[in-house]
Structure 1
Amino acid sequence: MSTREENQWADSLAKLASSSLPINPSPIYVDILTAPSIDEIFVNQIQINLDWSQPLLDYILDNKLPEHKTEARALMFKARNYCIVGSSLYRRAFSEPLLRCLSLEEALQAIIEVYTGICGEHLGGKNLALKVIKQGLYWPIVRKDCED
């Protein structure tokens, strides 16, 4: 028996599957609504704190800690690396001068300026992050944002 004859059943099954009609040829019904289905719309606004530096500022300025014990301990440990100069938060670095902490909106603007604008180089993520830090700027996810 040749290999072509062995495939006969498989070929017949494939042809049957591809040539058959749809299993459920039922019609699709469309209902056009002339009036709203609900009377009133309630919108609850939720304020989300996206500023990563606010807990640090609260702790450094007002000695305010989170209620959870492990979060408070982590914040106290993290706050050692930060200081306030004037009204701005700065991060202490070992081999760099003080790094000014940016909000996420300011960070995006800084990435755009370093990547295309003032510095004018099209760098990869790691080098772009290093250049942003050399400009004296910091936020916690600087490398991830630069790579994205």
Structure 2
Amino acid sequence: MDDSLSRQNSPSGGLTSALASEACAPGEGSPQPIGAPEDWMMPFSDFLQRGNLPDGATDARRLVQRAKSYKLAGGQIYRRSASGVLLQCVPPKEGKKLLLDIHAGIYAHHAAPRALVVKSFRHGFYWPTALTDARDIIRTCKG
């Protein structure tokens, strides 16, 4: 994937982690394409690509407000972080795999849930259930 977008506003020059490249290597670990079923990104992609809004004024207003933080580039959705760096949006399944790699992988970072999430976001990935997923991983860890 073109990570020039993540370098755009990043003082460090973007993703340079082996973990990031492993988590999104083409094939089995690559993120689902936009439009995949059960995808939390579907409402954002529909709105950003076609301007489709959900039924109901409240849901439509909420989506328009939240979509201001998202960009569509090269068929992939990115979320702008508070520091202005674009984070690649991934499905929860890929996010959990990333957290497991950080927590119990080669570098075994057995830390608090929030620290795991910060580390995954620092590597340039985003999904909305990250903190809940990290709590579940740590709660079930036997190490």
TM-score using structure 1 length:
0.63
1:143 deviation in Å?
Answer: 1.2
| Matched-pair contact (CA < 8 Å) for 2:102–2:108 | yes
Q: Aligned residue for 1:120?
A: 108
Q: Does 1:145 align with 2:126?
A: no
Aligned-residue CA RMSD (Å): 1.3
Matching residue within 32, 57, 62 for 1:69: 57
Give the distance between the partners of 1:126 and 1:66, measured in 2 at CA.
32
Counterpart-to-counterpart distance in 1, 2:126 and 2:84? 11
Deviations 1:91-136 (A, max 9, x none): 0012252111011211111111111225431111011111111111
Structure 1 residue runs without a partner (length 5+): 1-48
Measure the CA separation in 1 of the matches of 2:106 and 2:88. Answer: 18
Q: Which amino acid counterpart does residue 77 of structure 1 have in structure 2?
A: Q
Is residue 135 from structure 1 mapped to residue 123 from structure 2 by the alignment?
yes
Residue in 1 that maps onto 2:72: 84
Larger Rg: 1
> Once the 2 structures are TM-superposed, how far is the Cα of residue 57 of structure 1 from its aligned partner?
0.3
Q: Does 1:105 align with 2:70?
A: no
1:68-108 CA-to-partner distances (Å, cap 9, x unmatched) read 11100000000000001211110001225211101121111
Rounded Cα–Cα distance in structure 1 between residues aligned with 2:77 and 2:115: 24
Which residue identity does 1:70 align to in structure 2? Answer: T
Number of aligned residues = 100
Change (3 A) 1:96 1:80: closer
> Taking every aligned residue pair, what percent have the same amino acid on both sides?
32
Moved over 4 A (4+): none
1:10 aligns with none
CA 1:78–1:119: 2 relative to 1, 3 Å: farther
- The answer as to 2:47 corresponding to 1:59 is yes
